[in-house]
Structure 1
Amino acid sequence: MKKIAILLSVILTLVGCSSKDKTDTEAIKVVTSFYPLYDFTLKIGGDHVEIINIVGSSEAHGFEPSPQNLIDINEADIFIYNGAGMEPWVEKVLATIENKELTIINASEKIALMESDHNHDHETSDDDHEEHSDHDHEDHDHGIYDPHTWLDPENARIQMAAIRDALIGLDAQNSRDYTENYDRYDSEITKLMSEFSEKLSNTTRKEIIVDHPAFGYLLHRFGIEQIAITGGSLESEPTIKDIEAAIQQIKDLDAKVIYVETLSDLKIANVLNKELGVQVLTLNTLESMTKDALVSGNDYFSVMRQNMDNILEGLK
């Protein structure tokens, strides 16, 4: 974080005096912290927004902004981040931004957060606990609260509404477009949740084994427990003890499927597949999206439907 402050002091000296002089027809410049917020903003803003997604196809965990990212945030009209501890770098970056007209959106501000690695609702909003949850954490350790709010479509609905309101606040003349776009995707979320309910409400099993317990917000709605693999992350270098513990856990639960994330190293998963014959399936947390995936037409809704089908496979 020290290097961020040093970079900002140099960068903002160069860009701090520039004026935005926005015209009525100029697109609103939005910077998003990672893919879901980019996708939501594109859906709501349409042709009225120009979006820079700073994480891009990189790994969101452990990300630190580049000098260009800092310039982009300082020159934006709106900066949207997830909050809930997902981006531990945000607080220090925003403290040094000189653009006083920048609209800052914590997309999880109105979402009731859950404790990390537990399927228990913590009835509090993100702004009440930002100081506790936005500390630096290595790998996937985000602190007290689970930051993966967007993986529950009902929370995505709340985030889209926050984006709609921010765009209307800055560009009231196009409020009808933003409202109509939001309404369209609000209906899509209702449809998606109906599909989840139909498929997940009456399953034989009520737990899945995962590498990274990221789907608690969604699974909790349907009484399904996500159980983290014994012995640590499937991405880490396994010890014999780790593998033995994981094998015993899978046997005890009589699990037929284990889940890894899209960018996970499959070393341990492949060992478990070989030893036990368990199927290894992917759950995509949408923290990034490759260019090929975007060109193929993938978005939040298509990926969540694929996640739904994969989750269902492990609950048979």
Structure 2
Amino acid sequence: MMKKGLAMAGAALLFLNACSAGTGDEAEEKDTLEIYTTIFPIEDWTKKIGGDYVEVTNMVPVGSDAHTYEPTPSEMVKAASADAFFYSGAGMEAFAEKVVNVLDEDVAVLEATNGVELIADSHDHDHDSEEGHDHSHDEEEDHGHEHDHDHGEEHEDHDHGGEAPETIEIDGHSDHYHSGDHVHLTATAPNDVTSDDWHWYTLAPGANAEDETAWEAVPDNGTAQYEGIAEDGQQIIAKLFGEDHEVLAQSAPVTINVDDHDDDDHGHSHGEFDPHVWLDPVLSIELAENIKDQLIELKPEQEAYFTENFENLVTQFEELDAAFNEVADNAEIDTFIVSHAGYGYWENRYGINQIGIAGISPTNEPSQSQLVQTVDHAEELGLQYVLFEPNITPAVAEVVQTEIGAEALTIYPLEALTDEDVANDEDYFSLMYKNVETLKTVLSAE
């Protein structure tokens, strides 16, 4: 019995030791910061700076478009209990504010572009042709007001009866405005709708959206652009009308959210800036520094470690900047044509001009007349290449390539990796140097 008792005691001791070891492992695991990110550059830099002390999960899947991606409920739940949520900001990730709103109170939030000097969203597909729209509607102001009354009566007939109208896409942001901010929205008509008879309607906060008479027409606005003062809970829709006052296309309602809290954490009003900041190696240093500072705040005992890793990144950014400068200095032409206008920071930093076929968001496609202007401009300059992005290629970009007889090359926006990028173990710098080599080709006269 004595031997049996000793054996049982020994087994119990082993069990307790195993439990103790397990608890130690868990404690060691908790020493690692769990961080959720959005776009690939933020993920990559967080891993490089955080090193052994971070476990990084990127919410935008491989092959996706960060402009339009929406996280699943399960992803939101997981992010809610992480140590930190890092996103680029400046309007890049439409879903970011939704994530911020569900995070636990103790989750640190970093908008990496906070404090960074951004460039304006300069893509002007819409602006080139809107002046004509404005004048025509000014001259026909009474006609426009007649529409205002007629349209209110026709909501029910056209929205809920007969053939459903085509869907208008709205580009812009509804979340995280502050009191007094201006709302800027851009409507994009379906490809098969040629009308330019635009009208916008607003619904006061708390009003019944099903009550057609509650929607108020926005006066003196006959363009695809909407601008107004942010009002929390206000809904906005755009409509295109035909010659017989019928609704040809209509958008889904956009609900405006005003949040006057956390002003220090969110420094940019959305919709006014080009969000593709990470394509500028110099500004990327500032984004990476914001990441480094946040990591130090979360784990101050590792300040020296994070700082050393950040300084190594700075050296790589500076070398990359030098490579871009060399390409720009030796370029025989200074313009390239690309599937969407996401490369304004190269123009701003290096004088390399982009002709973007689609807008800042790849889903913002040009009208037929704007497409013709793009083709004519490319032919006038004798451009021999069209740059396509691996994740998303707007159909209109292929049309332009065919029309000008250009060769297709790949440019990397870096918002998200492809499966091939993952297989090849690509990182921010390897893809950016591929972009450098591509620019060498397209900016040569041969």
Given the two structures, how large is their TM-score scaled by the length of structure 2? 0.57
| Contact 2:339 2:394 survives alignment (8 Å) | no
2:383 corresponds to 1:255: yes
What is the aligned length?
285
Residue aligning to 2:105: 100
The correspondence for 2:339, drawn from 201, 211, 218, is 211
Aligned residue in 2 for 1:152: 280
Aligned to 1:195: 323
Q: Output the CA distance in 1 between the equivalents of 2:185 and 2:409.
A: 30
Residue by residue, what CA displacement relative to the aligned partner does 1:171-214 show, whole Å, maximum 9, x if unpaired? 12222211111111111111111111112123221222222111
Report the 3-state secondary structure (helix = DSSP H, G, I; strand = E; otherwise coil) of the residue aligned with 2:350.
coil
Q: Is the 8 A contact 2:79 2:85 kept in 1?
A: yes
Matched residues in 1 for 2:395 and 2:94: separation? 29
Q: 1:164 aligns with which of 292, 301, 304?
A: 292
What is the rounded CA distance, in whole Å, between the counterparts of 2:184 and 2:93 in structure 1? 9
Structure 1 residues 175, 269: CA separation in 2 closer, same or farther (over 3 Å shift)? Answer: same
What is the deviation of 1:239? 8.6
Shift of 1:260: 2.1
Q: Aligned-pair distance for 1:311?
A: 1.9
Once the two structures are TM-superposed, the CA of residue 90 in structure 1 deviates from its matched residue by 2.1
AA aligned to 1:152 is: D
Answer yes or no: is the 8 Å Cα contact 1:28–1:49 preserved in 2.
Answer: yes
Alpha carbons of structure 1 residues 118 and 268: separation in structure 2 relative to 1, 3 Å? closer
Q: Which residue of 1 aligns with 2:122?
A: 117
Q: CA RMSD in A?
A: 3.2
The reply on whether 1:42 has 2:43 as its aligned counterpart is: no
- Residues 88 and 134 of structure 1 are in contact (CA less than 8 Å); yes or no, is this contact kept in structure 2? no
What do residues 17-55 of structure 1 show as CA deviations (whole Å, max 9, x unaligned)? xxxx97696210000012111101111111111111011
Q: 1:129-161, CA deviations, whole angstroms, 9 ceiling, x for partnerless residues? A: 97569988899x972211111111112211111
Q: Do structure 1's residue 51 and structure 2's residue 179 form an aligned pair?
A: no
Give 1:288's aligned amino acid. A
Q: Is the 8 A contact 1:64 1:89 kept in 2?
A: yes
Structure 1, 32-41 or 224-233: larger mean CA deviation: 224-233
Q: Which has the higher strand share?
A: 2
Counterpart in 2 of 1:176?
304
SS in 2 for 1:229: strand
Distance in 2 separating the partners of 1:89 and 1:133 = 20
Over alpha carbons, which structure has the higher Rg? 2
- What are structure 1's unaligned runs of at least 5 residues? 1-20, 120-128
Q: Which residue of 2 is the match for residue 224 of structure 1?
A: 352
Correspondence for 1:7: none
Contact 2:358/2:366 (8 A) holds in 1: no
Deviates further, 142-151 or 106-115: 142-151
Structure 1 residue 108 displacement after superposition? 0.3
Aligned to 1:60: 66
Cα gap change, 1:170 to 1:244, in 2 (>3 Å): closer
Q: Distance in 2 between matches of 1:102 and 1:234?
A: 32
Structure 2: state its 5+ residue gaps.
Answer: 1-25, 125-175, 189-224, 226-269
* 1:51 to 1:245, Cα distance in 2 relative to 1, 3 A: same
In structure 1, C-alpha distance between the alignment counterparts of 2:316 and 2:183, rounded to whole Å: 31
Task: Confirm or deny: 8 A CA contact 1:286 1:300 kept in the other structure.
Answer: yes
2:406 corresponds to 1:278: yes
Match of 1:79 in 2: 85
Amino acid at match of 1:45: G
Partners of 1:79 and 1:233 in 2: CA distance: 23
> Aligned in 2, Cα 1:314/1:68: closer, same or farther, shift over 3 Å?
same
Q: Give me the whole-angstrom Cα distance separating, in 2, the residues matched to 1:306 and 1:217.
A: 17
Q: Is the 8 A contact 1:206 1:225 kept in 2?
A: yes
Identity over aligned residues, as a percent? 32
Q: How does 1:119-138 map to 2 (within 5 A)?
A: 131=178
> Judging changes above 3 Å, is the alpha-carbon distance between structure 1 residues 77 and 25 closer, same or farther for their aligned structure 2 residues?
closer
Cα deviation, 1:273-299, whole Å, max 9, x if unaligned, reads 444331222221111113441231211
Q: Which moved more, 1:169-178 or 1:85-94?
A: 85-94
Q: Which amino acid in structure 1 is aligned with residue 75 of structure 2?
A: N
Partner SS for 1:228: strand
Note closer, same or farther for the CA distance 1:81–1:210 as it changes in structure 2 (3 Å cut): same
Comparing 163-172 and 85-94, the one that deviates more: 85-94
2: CA distance, partners of 1:290 / 1:156: 22
8 A Cα contact 1:54 1:65, kept in partner: yes
Q: 1:144 to 1:178 in 2, by over 3 A?
A: same
**Residues 1:89 and 1:266: Cα distance change in structure 2 (over 3 Å):** closer
Alignment partners' CA distance in 1, 2:354 and 2:437? 16
Counterparts of 1:243 and 1:24, CA distance in 2: 54
What letter matches 1:176 in structure 2?
A
1:185 — aligned with what?
Answer: 313
Which deviates more, 158-167 or 267-276? 267-276
Q: Residues 309, 175 of structure 1: CA spacing in aligned structure 2 closer, same or farther, 3 A cutoff?
A: same
